[in-house]
Amino acid sequence: MALWSGRFQEDVSEFTQEFGASLPVDKALYHQDIAGSRAHAHMLAAQGIISKDDAAAIDKGLASIEARIEAGEFPFDINNEDIHMSVESVLTEEIGDAGARLHTGRSRNDQVVTDTRLFAKKRCVDLMHANIELRRVLIEQAQEHFDVILPGYTHMQHAQPVLFSHHLLAYVWMLTRDFERISAAYFAADACPLGAAALAGTTYPLDRFATAESLGFAAVIQNSLDAVSDRDFLLDLLYACSVSCMHLSRLCEELILWSTTEFGFITLSDAFSTGSSIMPQKKNPDFAELIRGKTGRVVGDLVALLVTMKSLPLAYNKDLQEDKEGAIDAAKTLEDCLVCAAGMIASMETHEEAMFEAACKGYLAATDVADYLAKKGMPFRQAHEVVGHLVLLCEQRSCDLSDLSLEDFRAESELFEDDIAGALDIESIVRARTTFGGTGHDAVAEQLDSALVALAADETALDELAASVL
């Protein structure tokens, strides 16, 4: 019979036992569950609610159970429907009445969400470590290929030339914001619900602040109803994972495009590519595609929990058992994607000449030619039209702006002089973008410094957070 079977005359059926069990999922939280129980037992003894001898027996028994779980020797039984009952039932079998006193003053409702919050904090720290490593790899590639120029795109059409380092740093800043979102999810989880019991608190003189401190929580949740029913912290984690996966998907889409024959900007290493079962020549960017594809499942995990939560009355409902699987999956998926992306980018080969050659096509100097006229007094809208006529002339001749003669330019405006050649030079065009955040060499050098400062600051902050994680 189950630990809650006192008012029941018969067990649930075998099917409903399996249908209602969360053990296959929440056994991943064994470390957090045992840590919470040890802290709870220590507090009960300190408050005189159980004896110190009972607390010592509980602590020793739980340490033994954790060692057996880690050694793969613990008898998980689906009849003990979750990790909490699995641990407590074996503990009671082994140490007797002392084990049966462990649950004094708490409920599985506050116990499970304590486990989940501890687990969420741990996974946030793991994700922040992986985030920092990918940012480091992107920055290193930006430093190594600082002067490389490639075409920038809008609407997937050639737009203006940019530094490859500038392009990579755009993803560094996306990931920096992802770090902030994951950090926010950490802080959202960093409050202790233990002692809220089922929903209303308890008559026992618990010291909730002592258990919170021993478990590394920064605060105690103030409302017992909110403590057992809140899953906002998991939604925060799932949202952070979804946005980060979306950023990785965008990055991988570009890696996929850049590695095509049509682009030829990069070659992915063999370690991050696969072949075809029928076409011997193929080298496919499968892992970039997988990262792009896995984004859908992580977004699905977020939507699933949002829908689960949307109509739940206070306080605890069995629906909340569905909160963990998606969060565990999303965190694992994102961590794997971050690691894979870092490996791909660190090992890829960059074809600088192909990038620059592409930057010399598609009339990428057109905006600078219009700016040339505007700086000589022509209204920009009129200059825009003049350059449009020049581009049309180039299309008719199948040539580029740099192939036109000075007479061709002057036929559209007498403001053109010999110095127009400077407005057509791709490297000069890039170097001239000196505004803060622009793609000019000086601006990107400053941006690289800022990215390194932000990375160092996040590493320091992460070290501090990791120190309080069980």
The residues annotated as belonging to the active site are: 155, 276
Residue whose C-alpha is closest to residue 367's, from 166, 160, 150, 163: 160
Residue among 233, 4, 214 at smallest CA distance from 107: 4
> Is residue 119 within 8 Å of 127, Cβ to Cβ?
no
CA 437 to chain centre: 24
**Long-range contacts of residues 412-416, Cβ cutoff 8 Å, at least 24 apart:** 412/386, 413/373, 413/378, 413/386, 415/373, 415/376, 415/377, 415/378, 416/372, 416/373
Q: What share of the chain is helix, strand, coil (3-state, %, to 5)?
A: 65, 5, 30
Length of the chain: 470
Tokens standing for residue 68: 């057996």
User: 331 is written with which tokens?
Assistant: 């965190």
How does 342-356 read in b/e, with b if 16+ C-beta sit within 10 Å? Answer: bbbbbebebbeeebb
Give the integer Cα–Cα distance in Å for 159 and 318.
54
Exposure string of 112-126, with b = 16+ CB inside 10 Å and e = fewer, is bbbbbbbbbbbbbbb
Q: Which residue shows structure tokens 């682009």?
A: 263
SS3 for 418?
A: coil
Given the structure tokens 């499942």, which residue do they identify? Answer: 297
